[in-house]
């Protein structure tokens, strides 16, 4: 059970939400879908006295702005999976959202934004946002700023958000190239052990972004390894690149770092194959 006398705030203005977060600092938590936060509080692993709930801020929308898609902080995995805009502009996010473990209960409740802010290395969202070159729209006491996804994930379970800041939306540039997503988990319940999001072809900078294998997403430029069509030439070279870059693999209760390092190359390769198949 939640062990503290908790004040639940549901502000209707972002500025008010930021003011609450600034006021209470470490003693406040942002509630998005709550699928991570609430169980942690129930287990006594996280203790705060103020919950700042985003539900009344109007951040549920997924909308196209100037050719980019803005996904509101409260958009759930189900919203993302059902979004026609994302199907067109950022299929990768949609594929990842559809594969989230936990069934309809989690997909209808958990949010892309919440997962990004939680920044669990062993999860889908951070690496997918890096692969998409997404930008985080951050509101804070000093106004609004944008942070590139790569800069947002500063460490395991840590984001670039400062005191009083909340992440209102993620902005995803229109996707060029084809995307492929590969995820390895030990079983259906398992957190992702290794994910790879490939973007190749059609003028995109060919890249594979690995998730689950390091403290933060690992974006690999594979321009030298694939042809203009996105076809991987030398799988061994990809394996070597992954091993070279993956110096400190992530480790948790489910799998040691050495295992993640051992499978990351194959996962990267499979994502490239899937990206190539997307056209067909």
List the one residue out of 4, 3, 42 whose CA is nearest residue 24: 4
Q: Which stretch binds another protein (CB under 8 A): 76-84, 135-143, 211-219, 250-258?
A: 250-258
Output 237 or 266, the one with its CB closest to another protein: 266
Residue among 82 and 266 whose Cβ is closer to another protein? 266
Q: How many residues does the chain have?
A: 280
Reference 169, options 3, 26, 57; nearest CA is: 57
What's the closest the beta carbon of residue 71 comes to another protein, in angstroms?
25
Q: Is 1 in the site for another protein (CB under 8 A)?
A: yes
Pair of tokens at residue 21? 């977060």
Residue 184 engages another protein in binding (rule: CB under 8 A): yes
Q: How far apart are CA 56 and CA 234, in angstroms?
A: 51
Q: Which stretch binds another protein (CB under 8 A): 11-19, 20-28, 62-70, 186-194?
A: 186-194
Q: Looking at the DSSP assignment, which residues form a beta bridge with residue 29?
A: 51
Cα 47 to Cα 35, 130, 239: the distances in Å are 16, 30, 42
Tokens coding 15: 């500025």
Residue 76 or 123: which CB sits closer to another protein? 123
Contact, 275 vs 200, CB < 8 A?
yes
- 68 interacts with another protein by CB under 8 A: no
Tell whether residue 256 is a contact of another protein (CB under 8 A).
Answer: yes
Task: Identify residues 34-63 at the interface with another protein (CB under 8 A).
Answer: 39, 43-44
CA-CA distance, 44 to 59, in Å (whole number)?
A: 29
| The one among 66, 104, 143, 187 contacting another protein by CB under 8 A | 187
- How near is the Cβ of 272 to another protein at its closest, in Å? 14
Cβ atoms of 54 and 86 closer than 8 Å = no
Please state the closest distance from residue 25 (CB atom) to another protein, in A: 21
Contact residues: another protein, CB under 8 A:
1-4, 39, 43-44, 184-191, 193, 253-256, 258-259, 262-263, 266-267, 270
């Amino acid at each position: 059970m939640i062990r503290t006398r908790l004040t639940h705030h549901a502000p209707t203005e972002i500025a008010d939400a930021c003011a609450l977060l600034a006021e209470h600092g470490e003693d406040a938590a942002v509630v998005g879908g709550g699928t991570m936060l609430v169980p942690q509080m129930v287990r006594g692993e996280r203790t705060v006295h103020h919950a700042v709930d985003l539900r009344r801020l109007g951040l549920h929308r997924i909308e196209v702005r100037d050719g980019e898609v803005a996904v509101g902080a409260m958009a759930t995995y189900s919203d993302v999976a059902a979004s026609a805009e994302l199907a067109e502009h950022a299929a990768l996010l949609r594929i990842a959202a559809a594969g989230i473990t936990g069934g309809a209960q989690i997909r209808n409740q958990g949010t892309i934004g919440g997962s990004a802010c939680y920044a669990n290395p062993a999860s889908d969202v951070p690496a997918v946002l890096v692969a998409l070159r997404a930008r985080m729209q951050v509101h804070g006491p000093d106004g609004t700023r944008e942070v590139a996804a790569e800069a947002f994930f500063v460490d395991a379970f840590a984001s670039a958000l400062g005191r009083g800041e909340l992440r209102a939306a993620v902005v995803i540039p229109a996707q060029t190239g084809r995307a492929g997503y590969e995820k390895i988990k030990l079983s259906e319940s398992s957190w992702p052990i290794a994910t790879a999001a490939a973007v190749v072809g059609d003028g995109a900078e060919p890249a594979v972004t690995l998730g689950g294998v390091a403290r933060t997403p690992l974006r690999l430029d594979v321009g030298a390894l694939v042809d203009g069509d996105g076809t991987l030439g030398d799988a061994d070279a990809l394996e070597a690149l992954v091993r070279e870059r993956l110096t400190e693999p992530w480790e948790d209760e489910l799998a040691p770092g050495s295992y993640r390092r051992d499978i990351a190359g194959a996962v990267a390769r499979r994502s490239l194959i899937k990206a190539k198949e997307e056209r067909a």
